[in-house]
Structure 1
Amino acid sequence: MPTTAILNRLRASPALPRLVMVSGLLVALAGCSSAPKSVDANTRAAALATGALPKAEPKSRHGNMGSYVVLGKRYYTKASSRNHVERGQASWYGKKFHGRRTSSGERYDMHQMTAAHKSLPLPTYALVTNLENGRSAVVKVNDRGPFVGNRIIDLSYAAAKRLDMVNAGTAHVEVRSIDPRDHGKDAKELLRLAAADVGRQHRVKSSPTVVTRDGGPIFLQVGAFGSRGNAEQLQSRLAGRVEEPVLVRAAAVRGASTPLYKVQVGPIRSRTDADALGRRLAALGIDKPVLVVR
């Protein structure tokens, strides 16, 4: 079906059960893609640790029109993903849309690391960081959306699970493009940083398991924020309520003008101390700290 006819159907539609997937109507035929270029072993290993494997791909035949209209609002697509960085609310979609066509023509697979975005070229690879807990994932953007409120990206179930936001439904995230077509030289570094972050962080509940590495100090990270003020608010909340120091660490993010502010409690001397601290934090409403070994 011609794109204009499909867009007219979108404009005329009185109600849509799930707006993030409405753009699937923009697809009439599956897109074609060329074979991926080779990727070095270090980049592949890093990607496996964090999510999708970025590779050079042509733009999909569908979903890359200059602009499109959904529910009376016009959206403009970007010609390039170069230097794209934004922060805002993320949501996720799951089995209700499993198997349906995305805007790029691919089938949505809730178990793959993919996402929907309103303006990035299809496909684009992006590093998504949950600013509420510091967890990261690399996703392939192959769909349009979300078209609800102020949300900037809609993640697959697998990506949402990696970011530990399935139960909450939404999270405050940073989206940073790493599409090798535009800036492959940065992709390796971003993947390396993300893989290192995943490798040194372990999700724990009230009784964390301590994993030491080369005798490094142990901390429990209780939050990660784009705003120093928000980090210091959490620091003030915990100061005096736990015996250990509560620190705010500014972690530089490559290519970003502002750092990520991580709130960490410690150092912790032993496994017993970490277990006890985890239980005390749970009593304060923080039951999922991140174990960090520096």
Structure 2
Amino acid sequence: MQLNSLNGWPWLLVGLILAGCSSQYVSHDALTETSNAGRYSLKQDKGPDQPLAASDINTTTPRKEPLSKHGNKSPYTVNGKKYHIMSSALGFKEEGLASWYGQKFHGHSTSNGETFDMYKISAAHKTLPLPTWVRVTNLDNGKSIDVRVNDRGPFHGGRIIDLSYAGAVKLGYVDKGTARVRVEVLEGDSLDQSAYFVQVGAFSSKDSAQNLQKRLKNEVDYKVGVYKDNFYRVRIGPVKYDQAIAIQQQYTGDEFGKPLLVAKP
């Protein structure tokens, strides 16, 4: 039995994304910082060589989650200016100019230690806690998307948020470069969704996975599924965050180790 193997699964693995990272991350566009010298292979940012259509980009599911271990140190300084992270984002709303970032930063660490993927929807903000879920509305065309903020920036004058290339495509301003937007923090019921699975085991044998699935169906009141990639993964859910934590604690021990929380994309 191979428990909690992670190979090949494309979803965010909560908790592991925060491990093995240094305690400091420089923002994606703090380009005058000494520690950033030579970090990027491109001098000018751009989109991918093969543009994406908005229909090719998956939307993201807002969810309740803990603060990242990295990227929330306050204050921090970029280009000689000091920034203070908000102690709480509840009720936060602002309007201003949005820009986007792409290929230059693709594959590099975000401020909270995750890996920036320009093909997925994400965002950078100077002072919101990481992560924070926000709804961004393009005031020029009325399009809105829900976005997870996991990076710092933009530090160009007059811009309030940087969306990933995918986010800018989805909001319809990638060709213009910037757009007037409204940023609203999501809270309450909009975050308390069934957005988590609890992975209790991963097997090379389909029979072993199905045997555990059958057992768990008699123990929990939630759906238990077997998900196939290079392993057969037994997962309980989807469930809300607090339910996921309770299930994780219930099955933590010698038999299962510490089950993984796996979030929807």
When normalised by structure 1's length, the TM-score is 0.47
| Mapped pair 1:13 → 2:21 | no
Q: Which of the numbers 178, 184, 187 marks the counterpart of 2:188?
A: 184
Q: Secondary structure at the residue paired with 1:96? A: helix
Tell me if the contact between 2:63 and 2:191 (Cα under 8 Å) persists in the aligned partners.
Answer: no
Q: Which has the higher contact order (CA 8 A, sep 6+)?
A: 2
Query: Aligned in 2, Cα 1:171/1:107: closer, same or farther, shift over 3 Å?
Result: same
Aligned ranges 1:235-274 → 2 under 5 Å: none
How far did residue 51 of structure 1 move?
2.5
Query: Aligned in 2, Cα 1:167/1:65: closer, same or farther, shift over 3 Å?
Result: same
Query: Aligned in 2, Cα 1:177/1:101: closer, same or farther, shift over 3 Å?
Result: same
1: CA distance, partners of 2:105 / 2:86: 25
How far did residue 81 of structure 1 move?
1.4
Q: Which amino acid is the alignment partner of residue 150 of structure 1?
A: G
| Mapped pair 1:75 → 2:83 | yes
Report the counterpart of residue 134 of structure 1 in structure 2: 142
| Mapped pair 1:64 → 2:88 | no
Query: Aligned in 2, Cα 1:17/1:157: closer, same or farther, shift over 3 Å?
Result: farther
Aligned ranges 1:38-187 → 2 under 5 Å: 51-178=59-186, 183-187=187-191
Stretches of 4+ aligned residues off by more than 2 angstroms: 9-19, 185-188
Tell me if the contact between 2:62 and 2:190 (Cα under 8 Å) persists in the aligned partners.
Answer: no
How far did residue 132 of structure 1 move?
0.5
Q: Secondary structure at the residue paired with 2:118? A: coil
Q: Secondary structure at the residue paired with 1:152? A: strand
Tell me if the contact between 2:99 and 2:159 (Cα under 8 Å) persists in the aligned partners.
Answer: yes
For structure 1, the 5+ residue unaligned runs are 20-48, 189-294
2: CA distance, partners of 1:18 / 1:169: 23
For structure 2, the 5+ residue unaligned runs are 1-21, 41-56, 193-265
How far did residue 14 of structure 1 move?
10
Tell me if the contact between 1:132 and 1:172 (Cα under 8 Å) persists in the aligned partners.
Answer: yes
Q: Which amino acid is the alignment partner of residue 163 of structure 1?
A: L
Taking every aligned residue pair, what percent have the same amino acid on both sides?
48
Q: Secondary structure at the residue paired with 2:104? A: helix
Aligned-residue Cα RMSD (Å) equals 3.2
Q: Secondary structure at the residue paired with 2:140? A: coil
How far did residue 17 of structure 1 move?
8.9
Tell me if the contact between 2:69 and 2:112 (Cα under 8 Å) persists in the aligned partners.
Answer: yes
